[in-house]
Structure 1
Amino acid sequence: MIKKISFKEAAIKILKEAEEPLSAKEITKIALEENMIESSGATPEATMAAQLYTDTGKFKKVGKGLFALLRQTESAKSPLIAIQNQNNLVKQKLIEKIQEMDPFQFEFLVAELLRKIGYENVDVTKRSGDKGIDIIGNLTVGGLTNVKTVIQVKRYKTGNNISGKYITQLRGSAEVDQRGLIITTSDFTKDARDESRAINKMPVALVNGQKLIDLLFQYKVGVKEDIVSVFSINSELFENELIDSPSKGIGNKSRAIWPLPGGIYSYIETLNQLMDRISDKKSSREDLINWFVDSFENVTSKKTANGYLNVPKNMGLIDFLNGNCVLTSDGQQYHTTRNLQFLFETISKNIVAFEEIYQFLIEPKSEQDILEYVVENFDVNWSTLAQVNFRLLWLINLGKIERTTDGYKAK
């Protein structure tokens, strides 16, 4: 029996082997399929997400909802991580530049940010006699509410935090119908935060240095966005993914279908051998990965073998239950009957544009004709003929189509 590990331990193990950052859902899916964790709850991905978001000593958020190990963000293997590291360097450099600015220039920088955010009639006050007010502006919400705001900015070094006395000072300078906003490059003390929320007093919003930098990035003030070409592997052309393809098309069908080892006209034979193995012997994913490596001379990579195992899974013939591979009801029926028409119908239920390509081939069509037909009529954006060719080879193996001098044609 495989020893279960904690959600955190599973996440660390999976992310160590991952080439790209993964979401909590993806990590949980792998952990459950590989029988690493045990969860009686209805939403194990929520439990996993809680670990990832809270343990900042182990995990780093990279992009929207994606995570990597903290040490991976330092090595920058992934383009996403490299981009984040570059942006973090720019943020640090931006803080340094702001610290070097003339205080009055800083006020104009903040004024520009407020305009980008949506404030109107933004005006930087005179350098003297401003009564603690550096900028004034109106924030109009939906054309209905006009919030007159007095803003104080403090270009302080990190650690020199703003105290509650500045909140009191700003309130004393404001008019009865105004609201307050203090923006600093440092941070606020606890008494400042408490005072800003005091009951029956003019509300004062607080923006600390971290929030300021985030806003400058968001509204592209003081920074510019460089558009660069980042290349990634086109998985249409290579082995199946390490995990089942998360991308689904029309009707929740899988977009991906892949070959099986043994030769391009031996897919059915290989599939039958695999299903015999699953039916005869209780097997984990690791057992079946080793079976592929041991059974086929040209299969030397466990990652590739894992991809082959996802072929019948995406087709709806096998699944994993409590860490072991089992035949689905459709898989059991095909295994018993070896009926190729039933196999064709099962694949068609689970793979995008499989049956439709067969129907499209009433007249001979080229691979390019088929690619254009699928891209125009299905939710795919294929840039190569790989997925078209894989479908055509499976249809040939099923005896449904043939290749002629004029193209591919249904029999």
Structure 2
Amino acid sequence: MAENLTYLEIAHKILSEEPKLKQIHYRDLAKKAFDLGFIESDDLIIAGNISSAMNSDVRKAKSQGTEPTFISYGKGWFGLAANEPRGIFADIRNKNQEVKKHLLEALHAMHPTKFEELIGEVLRNLNFENVEVRGKTGDGGIDVVGELVVAGVIKSSVSVQVKRWRNNIQRKEISELRGSLRPHQTGLFITTSDFSRPAIEEATDPYKNPISLMNGIELVDLLCEFGIGVVSERVTIYDIDNDELAFDFPESNEIDEEQGIEIFANYKNHQHFAIYFSPTKIVYENEVYKSPSAAGTKVQNGMPVNGWKFWKYTDEKSGKVHPIERLRKK
């Protein structure tokens, strides 16, 4: 292997240097590694070794209860754990994935004619013109036809075949679609399942009429994008704009309650120091006070004071001075 990188290091390098590459199949990962000169061949054996290395990393992390480097999405697809959304964004992602899963199942349950009409609507949203759903009346198994208009002047005639299958489409089905095409026509195969490797190779053969492919995941993504069969909800998330407001909030209000944090106050041209352990424990001049205000009142010889504003501390990261009210846990 070039640069003496391990398979895990190669996978991590490729995934981390392409942030938009959220998921990748191990065969495609091997091809990228070969193109970049990281491996001497992208044959099935080496690709399988890369897949095994990533699966081992996932299993090892799970058994040890540690954070994995990679995530396995099943069927040979992998991604970086660091690229996974977290918090509320992970909740939204999980909700959307669940909806897409149910939507795909709904497609499998649709009547064939309704499904073909749905595909026609998808094509119209993709800016196809003169879309016609032919169904059983189509020639050679062609279900939908249309014209893809490019730049408003170039029209390409496209014949579409659709399959509500659960098993992957094979080379045979791609060849049959190509055999149904007229000269200068382009083919598009849409399925609710996926395509086998031989089917993909057949569709992308540069010496034959091109066949475009759309699998179930891609179809569901388009349905969601166009709002077909789903409804969307707008979610507003607020965050502080520190630059706009010139605020400099500390990243954490956590205080080590064993060591505390040094606080200070200026009173009558004299600086007083105390140790803040918690809202109910402030030590000033070796005496424990149950609130910042009580300690501040002591400093001012019995004059009441709002201790949360009276006492200050220096933020270790920014070096700026803030009232200790910023340390108060909400």
| TM category, shorter | 0.5 to 0.7
Greater helix proportion? 1
Pairing of 1:5-404 with structure 2 (within 5 A): 57=58, 58=68, 78-157=87-166, 160-230=167-237, 239-241=249-251, 262-263=263-264, 297-298=275-276, 308-312=315-319
Q: TM-score, normalised by structure 1?
A: 0.44
Q: Residues 216 and 311 from structure 1, CA distance in 2 versus in 1: closer, same or farther, beyond 3 angstroms?
A: same
Amino acid at match of 1:298: Y
Say whether the 8 Å CA contact 1:79–1:230 is kept in structure 2: no
Q: Residues 82 and 120 from structure 1, CA distance in 2 versus in 1: closer, same or farther, beyond 3 angstroms?
A: same
Q: State how far apart, in whole Å, the 2-side matches of 1:87 and 1:264 are.
A: 52
Q: Kindly provide the CA deviation profile for residues 90-111 of structure 1, in whole angstroms up to 9, marking residues without a partner as x.
A: 0111011111101111111111
Q: TM-score, normalised by structure 2?
A: 0.54
Q: State how far apart, in whole Å, the 1-side matches of 2:168 and 2:162 are.
A: 13
Q: State how far apart, in whole Å, the 1-side matches of 2:193 and 2:124 are.
A: 22
CA-based RMSD of the aligned residues comes to 4.5
SS in 2 for 1:297: strand
Q: Residues 238 and 197 from structure 1, CA distance in 2 versus in 1: closer, same or farther, beyond 3 angstroms?
A: same
Q: Residues 60 and 119 from structure 1, CA distance in 2 versus in 1: closer, same or farther, beyond 3 angstroms?
A: farther
When the two structures are aligned, how many residues end up with a matched partner?
217
SS in 2 for 1:309: coil
Greater strand proportion? 2
Say whether the 8 Å CA contact 2:262–2:275 is kept in structure 1: no
Amino acid at match of 1:178: Q
Q: Kindly provide the CA deviation profile for residues 141-197 of structure 1, in whole angstroms up to 9, marking residues without a partner as x.
A: 11232111001010012xx11111111211221110210000101111122111111
Q: Residues 97 and 168 from structure 1, CA distance in 2 versus in 1: closer, same or farther, beyond 3 angstroms?
A: same
SS in 1 for 2:129: strand
Q: Kindly provide the CA deviation profile for residues 373-401 of structure 1, in whole angstroms up to 9, marking residues without a partner as x.
A: xxxxxxxxxxxxxxxx97xxxxxxxxxxx
Q: What runs of 5+ residues in structure 1 fail to find an aligned partner?
A: 1-7, 9-23, 25-42, 62-66, 243-259, 271-294, 302-306, 316-388, 391-411
Q: Which has the higher contact order (CA 8 A, sep 6+)?
A: 1
**Rg larger in 1 or in 2?**
2
SS in 2 for 1:311: coil
Q: Kindly provide the CA deviation profile for residues 339-381 of structure 1, in whole angstroms up to 9, marking residues without a partner as x.
A: xxxxxxxxxxxxxxxxxxxxxxxxxxxxxxxxxxxxxxxxxxx
Q: What runs of 5+ residues in structure 2 fail to find an aligned partner?
A: 1-7, 25-53, 59-67, 73-79, 253-260, 280-313, 323-330
- Percent identical among aligned pairs is 32
Q: State how far apart, in whole Å, the 1-side matches of 2:215 and 2:71 are.
A: 22
SS in 1 for 2:201: helix
